[in-house]
Amino acid sequence: MMVITDSASDITEKEAEEMNIRLVWLKTKFSDGDFPMRTEEDFCRFFDKLAEEKDLPVTSQPSPEEYLKFYIEAKEKEEEVLVLTLSSGLSGTINAANVAKQMSEYENIRIVDSEQAIITQRFLVQKAVELRAEGKNAQEIAAILEELKKRVTICGMLDTLTYLKKGGRIPAALAVVGNMLHIKPVIELKDKTLTMLGKARGRAGGMKYLWKEFESYEIDREEPVYFGYTSDRELGEKFMLDTVEKYGLKNDKLYPVGGIIGTHVGPACVAISFVKKSL
């Protein structure tokens, strides 16, 4: 079975090879051209460049042709295809995947809107790879992921209001005042889109806000807790270690976040993702 996802998962080229999955690339373009993000080193360079640029880069979804080449490869091998896309609330990537399916004239393709991004999209892809290894087919895996994605939650703390201002999401005056007061926005990926949960004073306040959100759910301890960060690994590690110690977590991992979502949240962010128990 061929598993395909896109680069909004922040799975690197090397990781994709190790997982035996295919990656379709969203493009990020600064004023001087495309900026590739295929390695963790690329992620670091991206945030350096982001800090230097006056305007935000433009992110664009992949073309149907980028999916089509993989579909044709699978069709020739009579191989099942499972596609997990970036949340349809954040991008039209899923449309490209569906158009390519029509173009391929191959029915053995299942396309799942992950309704997620970054570390939660990665989590669902990793789960698909595990289920494939257990011998499940694309239909069975898609059904499991459709249920699981409703229980996956991700919350994050932004370090600055600057990038929300640049993206036109808040007024410039509010960003200036907020940054002066060290306001840290806390966001959640909910109902397919990024929404504001609240605001906290300072990083310590922001982390406490994330912990409060974590405590408000009954967590499925059988699933891992993932942590993410933009640009500042040391900050991400500290948040992860403090959280692991506070809650006695046994299954946790830290991953970098690249520029697809990083464009809009900026550097020095931290995030936590977890799976809620079934109802």
CA angle, 222 as apex, 219 and 226 as ends, to 5°?
A: 70
Which residue type occupies 134?
Answer: E
Among candidate residues 256, 260, 265, 230, the one with its CA nearest the CA of residue 28: 260
HSE, side-chain direction, 13 A CA sphere, residue 119:
25
Helix H, strand E, coil C: the string for 130-147 is HHHHCCCCHHHHHHHHHH
HSE, side-chain direction, 13 A CA sphere, residue 44:
6
- pLDDT for 172: 53
- pLDDT for 199: 87
- pLDDT for 176: 46
**Residue pLDDT, tens place only, 253-279:** 999 999 999 998 899 999 999 999 986
pLDDT along the chain (279 residues), means of 10: 98 98 96 95 96 90 97 98 96 97 98 98 98 98 97 94 65 53 84 86 94 96 97 97 97 97 92 92
**Domains of the chain and CATH, by start:** 2-26+61-148 (3.40.50.10440), 152-275 (3.30.1180.10)
Q: What is the pTM of this model?
A: 0.95
Would you call 6 exposed, middle or buried from its count of C-beta atoms within 10 A (0-12, 13-18, 19+)?
A: buried
